Amino acid sequence: MDIDTTQLWTVIILLGLGSFGLRFVFLGLIGDRPMPPWVLRHLRYTAVAVLPALVAPMVVWPAATGGAMDAPRLIAALVTLGVGYFTRNVLAAIGLGAGSLYLFLYLL
């Protein structure tokens, strides 16, 4: 159980430097140099690709249920998506999504 202090700080510092490097690599090194159109075309879809890919497994196999598919969480995710898509209102989507989660956790 005991973590070696030297190893711990080695990890903290190198992980911090590495993470900063990943965050800085394009922003810092490319800066305001123009990028080719095909790169920009791909970058336009970064957010709508990475973030859904990040949350999809959390929705389908929630950690809180030990990875078992869970109806209230699936419904809440769909409600959030629908409200966000049709109203374009982030706060309404969060509110109704959370509301439906609690409602169906209570009902089901």
Partner 1 sequence: MRSDTPRSAYWRGVRDGAPFLLVVTPFALLFGVVATEAGLNVVEAMGFSIVVIAGAAQFAALQLLVDNAPTVVVLASSLAINLRMAMYSASLTPHIGSAPLWQRILAAYFMVDQTYACSIAAYETQPDWTVAQKIAYFFGTVTPICPMWYAMTLAGALIGTAMPAGLALDFAVPITFIALIAPMLRTAAHKAAALVAVALALVLAGLPYNLGLMLAALGGMMTGAQVELWMERRGTWT
The answer to whether 23 contacts partner 1 (rule: CB under 8 A) is yes
Q: Contacting partner 1 (CB under 8 A), which of 36, 46, 68, 108?
A: 46
- Return the number of other C-beta atoms located less than 10 Å from residue 4's C-beta: 9
Q: Contacting partner 1 (CB under 8 A), which of 66, 75, 103, 105?
A: 105
Q: Contacting partner 1 (CB under 8 A), which of 64, 68, 107, 108?
A: 64
Q: Are 106 and 98 in contact (CB under 8 A)?
A: no
Length of the chain: 108
The answer to whether 27 contacts partner 1 (rule: CB under 8 A) is yes
Nearest by Cα to 58 from 38, 73, 80? 73
The answer to whether 16 contacts partner 1 (rule: CB under 8 A) is yes
Shortest gap between Cβ of 68 and partner 1 (angstroms)? 13
The answer to whether 71 contacts partner 1 (rule: CB under 8 A) is no
Helix spans in the chain (H)? 5-29, 37-43, 46-60, 71-87, 90-107
